[in-house]
Structure 1
């Protein structure tokens, strides 16, 4: 096709926005169609007489608007108007598979919903919950959040706690409250899959950073030196961390690793967002970032993995100056989390059901991890008896996407490393396997055996991309 050159002569304001606006206009008029390739950034910069950085920002803005998509080694293309549904999203009538992809953490061991609803029905004054409440939630439910945060190593102030519609909503409103559109925020090289789309939807730029490497060859905490460099070179305004059972690597930061990152955050005045959905599974509570650096840390807690994803209840704890902003962002997005399901969770916390449920899930998880370590040997599985998923290192010759597809044809769902890293990075030789979504122990063990044998088969195939001789 003829090289696309945007008309920005009459545009006012930043040039990169004018280029993105022209791109969007040409898509709407049909001048550009799905699949059309955009010119290389250097070439377009030359044609327009602007800097390469301007074009990079323009293409980044276009991707944030979901107008284009970039593919490593192929360039930037006009994106489809429709997007594929995430493989993490449940479907009502999906074919039966052995699910080692989605991290539902033993839902068959969750507390009885019927018992919880029966208890609620007998609660005096329950009808008051069938109305509007403050956006941050009722005091009794915020006090429940403070109790939950104790398991996260944080003595939370109920007045600084807000109730959200689960952790995902908590991440969204917290980042909106702490940052401005256009801000760069550091994330782990491998991180929670939805963080990239969440950041894009609110105009934040993720800056993936490498991890320290442990003595056993596994991944450690985010490299504090890399964070300091990103603050200098990329102007990052904050950092998103999962200090306990990091998703997907499973690493739990030591106290020293936490302190090193706090020191960098204070040196460069970075805000910290800590997300810890798996912390209750761990036997020992380490100090949260919210305890180590309370003046700059927003903490997010959720009970979805512990006992009730259907309730969609989470909690955020933010520094005092951001309290009003959090309330406003919750109000703007959904007005309030449901006080009805918040009361359901509060009852389970008061009656000790979270502890009982965790005891059952920890026992089940120990069995699953030991089976995974045995059946996947000799491949390195970063995990332990307290981690509800594992990060499996593959032979360098095995493409994780090809392995995911091959297992899918056998009725086994897993996730390639591709889902946990920025789109412009080649997938690394890793696979995340969850331990608790499949109810049957026998099917779980069968799936592990098929994973090991399929890895062996793919590792023996010749690599046709390499030159011979």
Structure 2
């Protein structure tokens, strides 16, 4: 059978991008199927009369898009059939599966009843502008005022006109990146980070540079080195219980990252969706570099999944372009959801539900400590997830597949890595409603860690 090969005569500058696009199109069209080995760097460079470095850069782009995977000495293989939106979880879960693959707050009848009460109150006391107005400046000022008071409790000093309200943190991250980076720009992020970052930057035409991390998260000295060598426009950082590694960055580390960004004139996007859950949280990076830090937080992870609301607190220089781009892309956050969020902020329901959530998480983390005793993992007493490092003899995808066959869904590491490769770890969410379900699922994980690895299990 003839193996598809890229064509040299249709390559355009920049050649590495054009080559990556050709291969991606072939995968999408089915000309290159899953598992097919791509030509070696040197062979393809010779065939196309281009440099080996150009081929390497093209393969790197494909890996970031989640289309190929490879290891030194084995080669590069097609990973998926055009699915550039790979998520670390399976969208639908059949009955009988304990889903530890997606991070959610603990939800019980308490959250459901609170929501029903809020909807009833909204019906009885509806602000007409929330359903009758097309104008954000007629709808959002009250919500901006309420958010400023809450942001102050989180350590962020801002003004109402500098707050942009969005439908969740992902929308906020997208708007912020469009505003302070843009197509062709270079941004820096931790080498293992929130799974949305890699595909989002690809879609926006933004180049991402991986920054090494330790148990506190991003390493400031490596950030300085990368920013000194390249025209980095923005750094993305999640200092409070980072997703997926559950790192908590110390105050001195935050201050050092702020100093690096200030010295090299780099903007900061600080993602803090888990920060509200921390009883004793360090000051945000925004407190050390308020003139350049775009701070993003929300209520979805800390309070209620369906409360799709987030707040961008931007420096005065960035607030207008962020607001304009959000206007063009989304117009405004959903007013009815904003009404519930603001009501809950004003009557302290948010704080009460966060305090309840902390206690619920503490109980689940105690189960983690008991059941996974002896395992290698990183977490925090108020974290909704943990980062479990697998023993060296375990294959990550086989481990995930084996757990799935035994009724436990886990998130593999590859969607979180900027190079798309395995980190030999899995993310385990612990926000399960039933503690016994969590104990049982963690028991399955523990037994798999102790068992002899089975590499013959097919991915599911």
> Contact 1:64–1:201 (CA<8 Å) still a contact in 2?
no
The CA distance in 2 between the partners of 1:47 and 1:415, in whole Å, is: 39
Distance 1:60 1:135 in 2: 44
Report the counterpart of residue 190 of structure 1 in structure 2. 192
Partner in structure 2 of residue 98 of structure 1? 98
Partner residue, 1:257: 253
Report what 2:70 is aligned to: 71
What residue in structure 2 maps to residue 44 of structure 1? 44
Q: Structure 2, unaligned stretches of length 5 or more?
A: none
Per-residue deviation, 1:221: 2.4
The worse-fitting range, judged by mean Cα deviation, of 78-87 and 402-411 is 78-87
Q: How far off its partner does 1:152 sit?
A: 2.6
2:104 and 2:384 in contact (8 A); partners too: no
Change (3 A) 1:337 1:128: closer
Deviation digits for residues 168-226 of structure 1 (CA, Å, limit 9, x no counterpart): 111111111110222222211221122111111111222222223xxxxxx22211121
Instruction: Please name the residue that 2:300 is paired with.
Output: 304
Matches of 1:386 and 1:350, distance apart in 2 = 24
Q: TM-score normalized by structure 1?
A: 0.86
Shift of 1:453: 1.4
| TM-fit CA distance, 1:27 | 7.4
Go from structure 1 to structure 2 and tell me whether the alpha carbon gap of 1:46 and 1:144 turns closer, same or farther (over 3 Å shift). Answer: farther
Conserved in 1, the CA contact under 8 Å of 2:63 and 2:419? no
Q: Distance in 1 between matches of 2:398 and 2:52?
A: 35
3-state DSSP of counterpart to 2:306:
helix
In structure 2, distance between residues paired with 1:200 and 1:332: 20
Which residues in structure 2 correspond to 1:130-141 (within 5 Å)? Answer: 130-134=132-136, 138-141=140-143
1:113-161, Cα deviation, whole Å (9 max, x unpaired)? 1110111122254354343232896111122222332243211221111
Q: Which residue of 399, 419, 428 maps to 1:433?
A: 428
Deviations 1:366-423 (A, max 9, x none): 1111121111111133223222222223322223322221111111112233332134
Q: Over the residues paired in the alignment, what is the CA RMSD in angstroms?
A: 3.0
Matches within 5 A, 1:227-266: 227-266=223-262
CA contact (8 A) 1:148 1:301 kept: no
Residues 425 and 80 of structure 1, relative CA distance in 2, 3 Å threshold:
closer
Question: Would you say the 8 A contact 1:8–1:18 is kept in 2?
Answer: no
Which residue of 2 is the match for residue 216 of structure 1? Answer: none
Ranges in structure 1 where 5+ consecutive residues have no aligned partner: 213-218, 465-469
Q: 1:38 to 1:329 in 2, by over 3 A?
A: farther
Q: Is the 8 A contact 1:186 1:240 kept in 2?
A: yes
- Measured in 2, the distance between the counterparts of 1:21 and 1:378 equals 46
Q: 1:4 to 1:365 in 2, by over 3 A?
A: same
Q: 1:59 to 1:395 in 2, by over 3 A?
A: closer
Q: How many residues align?
A: 450
Contact preservation (8 Å) 2:296, 2:313 = yes
Alignment partner, residue 278 of structure 1: 274
Residues 190 and 249, structure 1, Cα contact 8 Å, conserved in 2: yes
Structure 2 residue aligned with 1:161: 163
Q: Look up the match of 1:467.
A: none
- Taking the TM superposition and a 5 Å limit, the aligned residue runs for 1:366-381 are 366-381=362-377
Q: Is the 8 A contact 2:413 2:422 kept in 1?
A: no
* Comparing 195-204 and 14-23, the one that deviates more: 14-23
Equivalent in 381, 385, 391 of residue 395 of structure 1: 391
Corresponding residue for 1:107?
A: 107
Q: CA offsets per residue over residues 39-84 of structure 1, 9 Å max, x none?
A: 3334333444434444444455667788x53433331549524568
CA drift at 1:24: 6.8
Alignment map for 1:22-61 (pairs within 5 Å): 32-35=31-34, 37-59=37-59
Residues 268-291 of structure 1 show CA distances to partners (whole Å, capped at 9, x for unaligned) of 222111101111110124221222
Displacement of 1:20 in angstroms is: 5.0
